Structure 1
Amino acid sequence: MQRIYNVLVNLSGVVLKSAGYFSKKLKEFTAGRTELFERLEASIDANEQYIWVHAASLGEFEMAVPVIKMFKSNYPTKKIVVSFFSPSGYKNKKKHELVDHFTYLPLDTQKNAERFLNIIDPEMAFFIKYDFWPNFLYALKERKVRTFLVSGVFRKDQLFFKSYGKWMRDSLKAFEHFFVQNEESLQLLQSVGFDNASLSGDTRFDRVAAQIESNNRIDFIEDFKGDELLMVCGSTWPEDESLMLDFINTSPDIKFIIAPHQIKEEKIRNLEESLNIPFAKFSTKEATDLKKARLLILDTIGLLGRAYSYADIAYVGGAAGKTGLHNILEPATFGIPIIIGENYKRFPEAEKLRQLAGLFSVGTAKDFTKISEKLVKDKDFREKTGMISGHFVNSNTGATGSLEKYLREDKNLI
């Protein structure tokens, strides 16, 4: 099986180059890896000490931020290298104050793994949540690099737990310790002989909890909101917007912010054409009287997390369609009630918060209007619901602390 895997991975490199002619995303995937090693060799200083953090995409990087902060606090002289597998992660995080080097992860061939590790020569390696690459893991084990899984999640349908998946299970031996999110993952690892695992939770809770301590002020949103009730609708897709528009267009006493997930001219224009209330856009806010606008379109990125701090109610997009629910923890940390679409079953934090009654799922525009009206009109209900959301985040923090405690207790800690 491992030989077949290696053949397929090597062939995929050739196929992906051709596929780039037909897919913009695949073109970015291959273009970003062109001269990858040359760029690394030019930027990595052999005299420095490096910690390698791998994140599949942007969401996993956000999970990694508390871990990186912890390392920078304890070991300020060590350099952080973050690798991404997806173009979306790499493009959106080419710079970060905590990260010294960003790079794509090369395709998982034996040759690439050896060359990548030869250049970085990491003292420690951290994989976030999942995205396991066997050749990289085997190479890390061979070099005896201390390797950890952070906020890991395993499912019983993965190859690790199949009768024919021994070679993939063997790659997991690279991990010194597995810090996993849930009991199911812990039991699955134990069922195949891995006792070096502990239930530590999800570092995303640490990440969003820290947001409250940050400076969340945005002057133009303060001007826009004034003293009025505000609903912030984040990471929305057209399917989400179709749920909300009837309520938005018939609610003159509420202000709204919509932050579309895709900042594309055509989609923004379609949203504008569906509105029959005064609105403004971030891109043209200087030419608009924000106090008179009833809705503000954030046609930019990087502001949504702070925008939630001004919200009285939040809608989080992605679950009205099939694209996948976006981060509900960002608004939850500010102690506000949350509304989402109905396709959220693959997101355990949403299911748990719904059970606690801090989150509401809707399938139709009528459902959205009904719960929104209740949250708007019943202040006591709105505040109690928001308190549940805030407590949910606060009671689930500590995953980063579990990792830090493990490393501090180790006398061989770097």
Structure 2
Amino acid sequence: MYWIYNICLVAYWLLQIPILIYRLVFEEGFYDRLKQSAGVMPTPTLQQIAYHNAIWVHAASVGEVVAASPIVRELKKKYPDEMVVVSVVTATGHRMAQRIIPEADGHIFFPFDLPVITERIVDIVNPKAIILIETELWPNFLRLAFRKKIPVMMMNGRISSRSMRRYSLIKRFTTRMLCQIRRFCMQSRIDEERIIAMGAQPKRCTITGNTKYDQTYAEVSEEERAALRKEFRFDGKGPIIVAGSTHSGEEEIVLRTFGEILKKYPKARLLLAVREITRAPSVKFAIKHHGYSVLRRSKMGTEEDDGTSPQVVILDTIGELGRLYSLADVVFVGGSFVKVGGHNILEPAAHGKPVIVGPYMFNFQEIFELLESRGVCLMTKSEHEFKETLMDLLSHPDTMKRMGEAALTVVHENQGATERNIKAFEQLVAEAGVKLGGRHES
């Protein structure tokens, strides 16, 4: 089965050549990223992380990086002399990791999962243990770690229904892969049931909760909040709506609804954070078409900025949304009016904000059910229902306050997953005969 996987992987990359050439020409920094993923590390990175017996934490993109942040922070707190290397797949994930996981000794791009490339990078990092965040299953990487007797565990494990369907098509191969992972720390009962159904051994699985409840990078003091309001020119004379991680089709829903809000609250402001930053110019065009004044965050202080307070600010930067949720009166989290499955609703909840979503939240099913049951998160099935719900909340500040207080309570009650994951990790390395506590030169 591995040879079929490798042939498909090579074929995939061959088909990607035109796209890779385009990105090499037009995307800043893509050459260095591609070179590193192909197994050629820049000299400073190589000198920093090579042959130190690191703990390797792999987080694919932004969401996994957020989950990894408290894990790495706790590892470095308990074992300051251990080297911890964080790998990512995407450029946005790499930038986020550098920003919110400064404790890591190195931030690298995950290698293409081809045997020769993977073996080269694994030999360089020379890990004493590997931690996979959420659902990162790379067959050649896992096979190599198993052959080298490197203990591997999954932390903050999450299996979406879509992933379940995909992996069920190759059940035999998936079971073999999962046998190479020694411990599965899953977010919820549903995730544990799914990983077992995919082929994981039940005795290796446990429920430890979601480390995203433990994140602290987005904490904002009242002084910082006041400074952010001033920077974004939100003068406090009208409600602030934050629409986070929106996809194509969702901006139109939000903008039409915002038009209705402006009729009742002329001083209202909208902060619109597009999920894909490259879409910011087209979203700006759509906002102008609706007749609203608009400014992109990345253009503040440039010739495009006339110094006035725009009705809509497009957030087209990386790593700021978590903090900016603190400015909202009400938050809409995107990816939920399209069949993406929703995005992280814990971030606004951690700021004590009422949250509204669309009908598709299957990627965060357990978290959504918990927040919905406590009256923190409201699901709307249509644009009309979304508009009615948002207008109703804005006209009832006491309801919004109660929802915010409930949000903070839920988050505080569910913290502690990081500590449970770290304990499971310590048990794993002890069973594998791996010592923690110091950095080991090769």
Please classify the TM superposition score into its range, dividing by the shorter chain length: 0.7 to 0.9
Which residue is 2:227 aligned to? 219
Q: 1:189 offset after TM fit, Å?
A: 4.6
- Which residue, 244, 247, 250 being the options, matches 2:254? 244
1:326 aligns with 2:343: yes
CA contact (8 A) 2:344 2:364 kept: no
| Unaligned 5+ runs, structure 2 | 437-442
Q: CA 1:189–1:37 in 2, change beyond 3 Å: closer, same or farther?
A: closer
CA-to-partner distance for each residue in 1:122-170, whole Å, 9 max, x for gaps?
11111111120121112111222121101112468457667x6334323
- Highest relative contact order (Cα 8 Å, sep 6+), 1 or 2? 2
Moved more, 13-22 or 345-354: 13-22
Which residue is 1:201 aligned to? 209
Q: CA 1:134–1:389 in 2, change beyond 3 Å: closer, same or farther?
A: same
TM norm structure 1: 0.85
Secondary structure, aligned partner of 1:68: helix
Q: Structure 1 CA distance, aligned partners of 2:182 and 2:77?
A: 22
Give the letter for the 1:50 counterpart. A
Which residue is 2:132 aligned to? 127
Q: 1:70 offset after TM fit, Å?
A: 1.0
Q: Structure 1 CA distance, aligned partners of 2:78 and 2:396?
A: 47
Moved more, 15-24 or 103-112: 15-24
Q: Structure 2 CA distance, aligned partners of 1:298 and 1:4?
A: 42
Q: Structure 2 CA distance, aligned partners of 1:97 and 1:254?
A: 36
Which residue is 1:182 aligned to? 188
CA contact (8 A) 2:295 2:310 kept: yes
Secondary structure, aligned partner of 1:5: helix
Q: 1:39 offset after TM fit, Å?
A: 1.3
Q: 1:298 offset after TM fit, Å?
A: 3.0
Give the letter for the 1:32 counterpart. R
Secondary structure, aligned partner of 2:132: strand
| Unaligned 5+ runs, structure 1 | none
Aligned residues: 411
Counterparts of 1:131-280 in structure 2 under 5 Å? 131-154=136-159, 157=164, 165-190=171-196, 192=199, 193-207=201-215, 211-212=218-219, 216-217=224-225, 219-222=227-230, 224-228=233-237, 229-249=239-259, 250=263, 251-263=265-277, 264=279, 266-277=281-292, 279-280=294-295
Give the letter for the 1:152 counterpart. G
Give the letter for the 1:267 counterpart. S
Which residue is 1:32 aligned to? 33
Secondary structure, aligned partner of 1:6: helix
Give the letter for the 1:111 counterpart. V
1:57 aligns with 2:57: no
Secondary structure, aligned partner of 1:211: coil
TM norm structure 2: 0.81
CA contact (8 A) 1:203 1:400 kept: yes
Q: Structure 1 CA distance, aligned partners of 2:16 and 2:396?
A: 54
Q: CA 1:59–1:189 in 2, change beyond 3 Å: closer, same or farther?
A: closer
Secondary structure, aligned partner of 1:232: strand
Which residue is 1:117 aligned to? 122
Q: 1:190 offset after TM fit, Å?
A: 4.7
CA contact (8 A) 1:138 1:171 kept: yes
Give the letter for the 1:252 counterpart. P
Which residue is 1:347 aligned to? 364
